[in-house]
Amino acid sequence: MGSPRMSELRDILYVDDENSNLVVFEATFEDDFNVHTAHSAVEALELIDLLPIPVVIADQRMPDMTGVEMFSLIRRKHPHIQRVILSGYAESESIIDAINQGQVFQFVRKPWQRPELLSVIHRAMDAHDMAMENTSLMQRLLVTEQCALLGQATAEIAHEMGNQLNLLPLVEFIEDEYSHDTQLMQLAKMARDSHERLFALLNEIKGVVRQEGTEFSLQLVSLADVVRELLSFLRFNRDIPASSIVADLRCDPVILGNKLKLHQVLLNLVKNALDAIRDRPNGRIAIHLGCNSECIQLSIADNGIGIPPAIQSKIFDPYFTTKGKQGNGLGLDLVKRLVEAQHGRIQLHSEPGKGSEFTINFPIIASPPVQQIKLAEAGH
């Protein structure tokens, strides 16, 4: 299978305070990449703001700041840029910490060899492309979900969005070429899952256009896996900072549910929680999964503005919204219907000024059959 890389040279940036190293690096890779160079971290950061650079390679020891320190700044502002550190010194602890924290894609020991470093750069480039595709898929998924909620999508829009889903060749290339690379395999799996979820939602939209009821099957689903997958997808949504979400998964129960619909439920609740903490400097969203002898309990809590008692009884009503023109009043109504269609119950506890908590209770099951649920009839 051929590589999907573009025929023209891709941009990379090499940062080193020694001019001789810059000259050698550029001469070594000028036939493979469009090589940009910088003498300092400050110069590199300015260049990154001007050019769409997918991969940065940097020496660890530089006078103004270390390569790892520079990568920490790059990661905050440009999380998709892949970062490769070069070092000939025995400072393994700081570099290992940086790798563990996701600040560095890979460490290469100096003196580097061209074949090894070239392979690393190519893998970093593919990781960047996959991360960008995942972000694009997440944005399309959010847009598609809104269309499904409003029921105003058209077959033409769904058809056009379907035509743009050309991610699978890149995913297959990654799986064929880098089956040994755990990080790239995880990215590829997330891309495949996003692709499948988006196609399922597109089919729902087409069903709405044809005025069909939305049917979905209930199967045995690991609720902990659903939460983990959602958190992985959210990593690529810039509107939802990963640092604001904490997960406490104390059990791994199996419920009778639908993974796509559970994702929709959790995504809606997380987005509502994000709106509630948006103006809070220490805003936090906590996802908790617990089990007891009576039920399985999944909760999404925030320390945001809370919901006034006078309207708490109305929040699950169709078309009721507290967001003015920014809301359509269908999100929590759909959440409630999806939860009930999967034999669950959802409740709200909220205190103004302290935050809100949505708790979903699912029944404990033994060995249930697969069921077909028609959403239009669920809960009514």
CA dist., res. 205 & res. 122, Å (int): 38
Residue with tokens 């958190």: 231
Query: How much is the average pLDDT of 188-192?
Result: 80
Number of other residues whose CB lies within 10 A of the CB of residue 84: 23
Q: Reply yes or no on whether the pLDDT at 151 is more than 60.
A: no
CA distance readout (Å), 100 to 68, 234, 246: 12, 19, 18
Strand partners, 302: 285, 356
**Cα angle vertex 11, ends 9, 15, to 5°?**
135
> What is the per-residue pLDDT for 249?
92
Backbone angles phi, psi at 298, to 5 degrees: -120, 125
Count other C-beta atoms under 10 Å from residue 107's C-beta.
18
What value does the mean pLDDT take over residues 11-22? 94
pLDDT tens by residue, 295-328: 999 999 999 999 999 889 888 887 666 665 454 4
Query: pTM of the full predicted structure?
Result: 0.49
Distances (CA, A) of 103 to 58, 85, 96: 12, 10, 10
> Which pLDDT tens digit goes with each residue over 233-244?
776 666 667 678
- Cα→Cα distances 122→111, 118, 128, 309, Å: 19, 6, 10, 56
State whether residue 79 is helix, strand or coil: coil
